[in-house]
A = this chain, B = another copy of it.
Amino acid sequence: MSGSCGSAGRRPLSNSPVTVFVCTACGQAAQPDSPEGSDGQRLFSALSAEAARFPDITIADVDCLAVCETPVVIAFSAPGKWSYVIGGADPARDAGDILAAATAVAASPHGVPAIKDRPPFFKKGVVSRIPPLPSRA
C-alpha cells in the first residue's frame, strides 16, 4: 500500500499517528495587534480546521521551538520515528502541503519522507532533525 500523498484533498493513508507542532509565537512581534493573532496562530487555526479529515494527524500549538529567525516554524513528530523541525511555513500557502507531508511521514517506516513526497516548504526549510530514541531509553 502506498501512503504517499501529493494532494491535500485526497484522503490520506496513514499508518501511524503523527503530531504537527506549530509555534504560535512565530510572527507575534511583527503583528502584535492583528485580530487573527500571530502568523503561527493563523497557521495553527488553518491546520486545525482541516485536521478532522486526517484521523492520524494531531495538530498541537507550542509556545516556542527556539527557531525565531525563520517563522513560521513547525515540527513533525511520531513515536519511534525521526522528528523534523522546519521553518518558513506560510499560513496562507502551506497548510495543505503540511498535511500532505504529515501523511508522508505517517506512511514512511522511519519518518523520513522520500524526496518526491516533500512539498517545497519541506525541501527548503529543514532546520534540524532528531532520531527516535534507542530502544534502551
Question: Footprint of B on A, CB under 8 Å?
Answer: 1-5, 8, 17-19, 21, 58-67, 73, 75, 77-79, 83-85, 126-131, 133-134, 136-137
Contacts of A73 in B (CB 8 A): 128
- How many protomers of this protein does the assembly include? 2
Answer whether A77 and B133 are a contact pair too, CB < 8 Å, given A3-B61, A85-B85. yes
Are A137 and B4 in contact, CB atoms less than 8 angstroms apart? no
Closest CB in chain B relative to A13 CB, distance in Å: 11
Query: Closest residue to A83 on the B side, CB-wise?
Result: B130
**Given contact pairs A66-B126, A85-B85, A137-B78, A131 touches B21 in the complex (Cβ within 8 A):** yes
The distance in angstroms between the C-alpha atoms of A21 and B8, with both chains bound, is 11
- Alpha-carbon separation in the docked complex, A133 to B75 (Å): 11
Contacts of A134 in B (CB 8 A): 19, 58, 60
The reply to whether B65 and A129 contact each other, CB–CB distance below 8 Å, is yes
Of A78, A84, A85, the most chain B CB neighbours within 10 A belong to A85
* Chain B residue with the shortest CB-CB distance to A48: B1
When the two chains form their complex, are residues B136 and A1 in contact, meaning their CB atoms are under 8 A apart?
Answer: no
